[in-house]
Amino acid sequence: MSKKPGLTVLAGPTAVGKGTVSTYIRDNYPQVWLSVSATTRAPRPGEQDGVHYFFKSKEEFAELVESGEFLEWAVVHGQNTYGTLKSTVDRAIAEGRSVLLEIDLQGARQVKKAVPDAQFVFLAPPSWEEMVRRLVGRGTETPEEQQRRLETAKLELAAEPEFDHTVINDDVRRAADELVSLMGLAPNPR
C-alpha cells in the first residue's frame, strides 16, 4: 500500500538522473510543488535564482543554519552545501499541495527523522554501468569530482532498503509518471 502523504522525498545515487526527473516534473506536472533548495554551489549556465535553487554565499547559508531555517541540510560530495527551507515546505503542505523534495541521501535521512510519515522514494539506475556512463557523459565535472561522486554513489546504492519504494530511471517520462502516481496524483495521458 502506498502512503498518501503531502510530502514525498526523492533520493538516489549521484547521476541517477534525479535532476532530470525533477526537471521533467517541473515542466509537466504543475500539480506537484517541487521544493527549491538553497545551495552554496555556483549557478550552472541557464540556472535561475529562485527557480532551480536559491543561490547563497557560505555566510548567508551559515546564517540560515544558525537560525534553524532548514528542514534538512547537508554537504554533498564533500563540496557544496544544500538545504531545504522549512518555511516554504510547511506553507505548501498547509495549502494542501503535493510536495516533492529532490535531495541527497543524508538529507532524506534527516527528513525521515523529522517527518517519519513522509513518503520516501529511491530513484535507482537501470545498472551501475549506465550510471557511470551518465555521470561521465554529463561532462560538467572534473575527473576528480567524477571519482568523488562515484564513491558517494556506491554508498548511496546500498541505502535502497531504507526507502518505501524504488523507481527505476530507465526512461525519464516513465519514471516521472510512476513517481507522480506514488504521490497519489494522476499521471498525464500519453
Residues contributing to the site for ligand 5GP (CB under 6 A): 14, 18-19, 37, 41, 72, 74, 76, 82-84, 102-104, 106-107
Which of 147, 188 has the CB closer to ligand 5GP?
147
Buried b (16+ CB within 10 A) or exposed e, 38-60: bbbbeeeeeeeeeebbbbbeeee
Which of 49, 188 has the CB closer to ligand 5GP?
49
Which of 98, 110 has the CB closer to ligand 5GP?
110
Rounded least distance, CB 138 to ligand 5GP, Å: 9
Sheet with strand 32-34: strands edge to edge: 32-34, 98-102, 7-11, 119-124, 165-168
Rounded least distance, CB 95 to ligand 5GP, Å: 20
> For 9-161, where are the alpha helices, taking DSSP H only?
18-28, 58-66, 86-94, 105-114, 128-138, 143-157
Which of 19, 78 has the CB closer to ligand 5GP?
19
Beta-carbon-side half-sphere exposure of residue 18 (alpha carbons within 13 Å): 20
Which residue's C-beta sits nearest to ligand 5GP?
107
Rounded least distance, CB 154 to ligand 5GP, Å: 14
